[in-house]
Structure 1
Amino acid sequence: MDATELIALEQKLGAHNYKPLDVVLRRGEGVWVWDVDGRRYLDCLSAYSAVNQGHCHPGIFKAMVEQAARLTLTSRAFRNDQLGLFYQEICGLTRSHKVLPMNSGAEAVETVIKTVRKWGYKIKGVPENQAEIIVCRNNFHGRTITIISFSTDDSSREGFGPFTPGFRVIPFGDAAALEAAVTPNTVGFLVEPIQGEAGVIIPPDGYLKAARELCRNHNIVLILDEIQTGLGRTGKLLAEEHEGIEADLTLVGKALSGGFYPISAVLSNSEVLGVLQPGEHGSTFGGNPLACAVARAALKVLIEEGMIENAAAVGAYFLEGLRQIQSPVIKEVRGRGLMIGLEFHPEAGGARPYCYRLKDKGILCKETHDHTIRFAPPLVITRETVDWALDIIQSVISES
């Protein structure tokens, strides 16, 4: 089938819960993907940072094939020979004490919500069913009913109520608002170190450090959602490292498998995850041997091949190059590592038309919050490829 036929098939038989660009991809390698007609594109989305290690990384592929030939799934009713090694390696990298593996990012968030509520009742002494979790405006943590209950995006909520109670919403990046929102029933503060879906919104310097101190002083669990920002995307293994802090709970996913397999994890100190007892939470596929083997390989190549350092260096180069583009339609360019947002003025007509023009010239990217394009290529991108991309981006914006 050609691209037109495949798009028509999707439109006819699939739920219309996505609005993708009309490109039908068939193959990927490194930072490049090819469509069904053989045309090559630079991937500047990385599957929302799930393929930090590049498309079809051979080392991760090898680990996946070898494990798939041995054992794929046991459920957690039995043990497997990959789970403990995965725990050991990810704890060593992140200085965590405990790990709870799941499959998707949303499952990791749901896991955290359940866990900190129970911690609040069993350890902090909050009255039963009164626990509160503070979150930030314009957050994005997933799309389950509970998660959209504390979203401030109307399109995520409309028609899906009633919603789950127990959340207080404050402005992002405002430490004073965080302190004002704390009550005796506050058990956790859930926050993205950088708000990705909101348009790569970076909080003021010192914000996370202030939140860390405030949570410590009020006996509140600090939860950092690093599902997009973690595993090298911002030029550090975890984005919390930019401010020299450690969260009580950290969520990772997406690039934890290098794009090969759904896997996420809750990283924790012993006190918080220690409240869970057998039978209180779980997942049939969570911690399966195939996922663990893939994750081990994904972490190994991320470190051994210098991808994090490359994200820091090439990301700064890319960011500076974008800031050199002079155009009245550009409002702001911001970013950290290879997580970069280019925001247009509202009168520019939105970011999506620019995404289509970039696609036509060989760059795939996606708009977010109407007026911002994210540039988030795999962490293996080179300066030479960035130079090529900058020339195209400059030409597209100049044509507006």
Structure 2
Amino acid sequence: MPGNSRPAGGPGLEQVRRIVTEIPGPRSRELLARQRGLVPAGVGATLPVFVEAAGGGVIVDADGNSFIDFGSGIAVTTVGNSATAVAERAAAQLRRFTHTCFLVNPYASYLDVCQRLNELAPVPGEKRTLLVNSGAEAVENAVKIARAATGRPAVVVFDHAFHGRTLLTMTLTAKNRPYKHGFGPFAPEVHRAPMAYPYRWPTGPEHCAEEAAAALADLLDRQVGADNVAAVLVEPIQGEGGFIVPAPGFLTQVAEICRARGILLIADEVQTGIARTGRMFACEHEGIRPDLVTTAKGLAGGLPLGAVTGRAELMDAAPVGGLGGTFSGNPVACEAALGVFDEIETHDLLERAQAIGDVMHQRLAELARVHPAMGDVRGRGAMIAIELVQPHGDRVPAPELAAGIARRCHAEGLLVLTAGSYGNVLRFLPPLSISDTLLDEGLTLLGEAIAKETASAG
């Protein structure tokens, strides 16, 4: 598998799975008790063990347990935790200066990141990039820019979408619990269209793209009024929604529908972007060229940085002072992002992501042939998921089964994440620095967990 010989990176951790205590262990339980008195109850954790070190393909907790990492901080540490180029560049910048505020005194590293994104993003024509602090902030600014450039108020999003937790991005997000419940009223002028979800499309996957595109066009023309719509916002692969890969051809039709009506297309690549899917941007798999694209998560290898990259005439539409923020494009985060680009190029991580995905697809497809509860295996590159259903054939979601499998994985030293509008999806986001050995072991553990949990569920 290409890229397997690369150094582990991080703090030189031994690349092994090792469970020496119950999970969570005594030290983590002490810290959890402390957390309850300091942190709001609304801040949860998938695997409540406190981390002391991470790198390569492992996470080591305060009790000395070493977990195989199939989460990457939700697609953040794509190039590996504390990857060498990221850590070295960020450390050097910390010694020079930590902050000036780009709006007060600019610095060249901000420009360097913008230049790289302008070169790489699949946006047509001359481009500009704005740096911000997070994915939600990137999406909010993309909507602001679209409204300023078009003079139109409305935004259209899709079922199963996740775009963030701020007021606007929470409104854009589809799932009520835990993201929206109790937090309304929400922002106005947000409208929702069906997503081309092949596994769950009522008339079957062969009709999915065409019928979902027709529903979008009808929403724009009949319900909202296309002249009122600034932008259609779409994840090329839906993340929290369950790693839904839209039916082939759907994104192309969405782009054509937008173009015919003078509506801007915004691609939310916060989770899919920066090498995760085997391309720098997931849009590239279908040749989509959005007007605006948002990135964050994997952009700076764990430091807070987000970006909006778009057509120059759109990006320049906002008035002077209308964009930016105190910490936006922090110099340490910018240097970390430049380290991410170095890691991707030096270690051929686009090829590595595809190779990881090929292995995972093959192994998971083999498991699905044995376990009817694995209703669907989907994803691209190192962004793969399985959807769990009741095994009697009518695709009833099985969230309890997904949660049970995740618990078994965690107890055995494999970090996996759940997702999906129905809570029945297991998603896998291994760092691209993971070794073949750990990847194989993690998939073996996953298979054992699926077998045991499905057997116990009857």
Q: Matches of residues 33-48 of structure 1 in structure 2 within 5 Å? A: 33-48=59-74
Which residue in the other structure is 2:48 paired with? 22
**1:159 aligned onto 2:182:** yes
Q: Which residue of 1 aligns with 2:233?
A: 190
Q: 2:216 aligns with which of 162, 167, 178?
A: 178
Q: Report the equivalent of 1:84.
A: 111
- Contact 1:329–1:348 (8 Å) recurs in 2: no
Query: 2:363 maps to which residue?
Result: 321
Q: 1:137 maps to which residue?
A: 159
Q: Which stretches in structure 2 are left out of the alignment for 5+ residues?
A: 1-25, 197-211, 221-225, 390-396, 454-458
Distance 1:153 1:270, change over 3 A: same
What amino acid does structure 2 have at the position aligned with 1:354?
A: I
- 1:99 equivalent to 2:129? Answer yes
Note the C-alpha offset of 1:95: 5.5
Say if 2:32 is the partner of 1:7: yes
- Determine which of 60, 66, 82 is the counterpart of 1:56: 82
Shift of 1:186: 1.2
Give 1:66 deviation, angstroms.
Answer: 0.4
Runs of 4+ in 1 over 3 A off after TM superposition: none
1:228 deviation in Å? Answer: 0.1
- Correspondence for 2:258 among 204, 209, 215: 215
CA distance in structure 2 between the partners assigned to 1:371 and 1:185 by the alignment: 36
**Structure 1, residues 346-400: CA drift from partner, whole Å, max 9, x if none?**
4573312211110111100121132111111112223332221221111111112
Tell me the SS of whatever aligns to 1:290: helix
Give the CA deviation at 1:80.
Answer: 1.1
Say if 1:348 and 1:273 are closer, same or farther in 2 by CA, change over 3 A: closer
Deviation at 1:63, TM superposition (A): 0.2
Quote the offset at 1:40 in angstroms: 1.0
Does 2:393 align with 1:334?
no
In 1: Cα distance, 2:272 partner to 2:317 partner: 27
CA distance in structure 2 between the partners assigned to 1:181 and 1:248 by the alignment? 21
Q: Please state how far the C-alpha of 1:84 moved relative to its aligned partner.
A: 1.8
Tell me the distance in 2 between the aligned counterparts of 1:347 and 1:216: 39
- Count of aligned positions: 391
Aligned counterpart, 1:241: 284
Question: SS at the partner of 1:100?
Answer: strand
- Residues 161-310 of structure 1 aligned to structure 2 (within 5 Å): 161-173=184-196, 174-182=212-220, 183-259=226-302, 261-310=303-352
Alpha-carbon spacing, 1:187–1:348, altered in 2? closer, same or farther (3 Å):
closer
Q: Which runs of 5+ in 1 are unaligned?
A: none
Task: Indicate conservation of the 8 Å contact 1:314/1:381, yes or no.
Answer: no
Q: CA deviation at 1:227?
A: 0.4
Shift of 1:89: 2.1
Pair 221,391 (structure 1): closer, same or farther in 2 beyond 3 Å? same
Report the residue type matching 1:36 in the other structure. A
Q: Normalization by structure 2: what TM-score?
A: 0.82
Of 76, 86, 93, 1:67 maps to 93
Other structure's SS at 1:199 match: coil
What is the rounded CA distance, in whole Å, between the counterparts of 1:256 and 1:315 in structure 2? 20
After TM superposition, the score normalised by the length of structure 1 is 0.94
Choose from 110, 113, 116 the match for 2:146: 116
Counterpart secondary structure, 1:350? helix
- Contact 2:57–2:80 under 8 Å retained in 1: yes
Taking only aligned residues, the RMSD between alpha carbons, in angstroms, comes to 1.5
Shift of 1:272: 0.9
CA–CA separation in structure 1 for the residues paired with 2:100 and 2:108: 11
Higher mean displacement: 75-84 or 42-51: 75-84
Q: Is the 8 A contact 1:116 1:187 kept in 2?
A: yes
- The residue type paired with residue 312 of structure 2 is S
- Contact persistence 2:122–2:281 (CA under 8 A): no
Query: Partners in 2 of 1:286 and 1:218 — Cα distance?
Result: 33
8 Å CA contact 1:352–1:366 kept in 2: the answer is: no
Report if the CA contact (8 A) 1:132-1:168 is conserved. Answer: yes
- Identical pairs, percent: 33
Query: 2:176 is aligned with what amino acid?
Result: D
Aligned to 1:355: 406
